Amino acid sequence: MDQSTPRIHAQTLAELNHCVGTARRDAACQRLGEIIEREKWPEDREERAKLYARCLVLVEQALEATNKSTLLFSNPKQALGDKPLIHFLKMLDQLLNMLKLLAEHVGSVMNEAELLSEMLGAETYSILQTTCEDFEQHEQMAQQVLQSTMKIGKEMVQRNTEIRRQFFSADDNRRYEKALSEYTMHYREGIDRI
């Protein structure tokens, strides 16, 4: 940035809180990985939809923290390293939204079976049930895609953090560790209440 250009307050705050934003992002991604990498998703559709909603909150938190803590103003070259990570987080957001919608749709059809059967007639309702079976299969495939994507994403987050931390001062590292501890506890305890 040209030294003659006046700095704005938001730039200074973003740079000052870069380490805290990185910690917040890392804690959200860590909790997201713990949820996504589970061996088996809940059988109950409503429970799965709730779990997807929790994951969406974590992705949104990670995206917000990444966007706010990017060093775009002070180090544009380093900020370029955030682009693939932001793309990854946006992709996770879309995948999770799709999974949540699939689970909710099938759940709605099953919960309103009697009403839909009367309204649509037996033949059309039968077709709707068949599409629901397809949706459930697509949901299972999307879960697998989500899990494999998360494995790649964990590596991206870790590498991005390593690069960011090369620019941290000793105080930035201290603040990062403290914020990471606090956000980790927050996301472990708070996210399950959603």
Q: What is the pLDDT of residues 44-90, one digit of tens each?
A: 988 999 999 999 999 999 999 998 877 654 566 666 678 889 999 99
pLDDT > 70: percent of the chain: 77
Residue 34: inside a domain: yes
Name the residue range of residue 136's domain: 13-193
- Within a domain: residue 82? yes
Report the pLDDT averaged over residues 94-117: 79
Neighbours of 74 (CB within 10 A): 16
**Is-above-0.75 flag for pTM?**
yes
- Within-domain flag for 144: yes
Place of tokens 């919960």: 111
Q: For residue 55, is it within any domain?
A: yes
Q: Using one digit for the tens of pLDDT, what is the confidence trace for 17-53?
A: 889 999 999 999 999 999 998 878 899 988 999 999 9
pLDDT tens across 110-124, in order?
666 666 666 667 777
Residue 22's contacts (CB-CB under 8 Å, 6 or more residues apart) are: 65, 69, 161, 164, 165, 176
State the total domains in the chain: 1
Tell me the average pLDDT across 159-186: 93
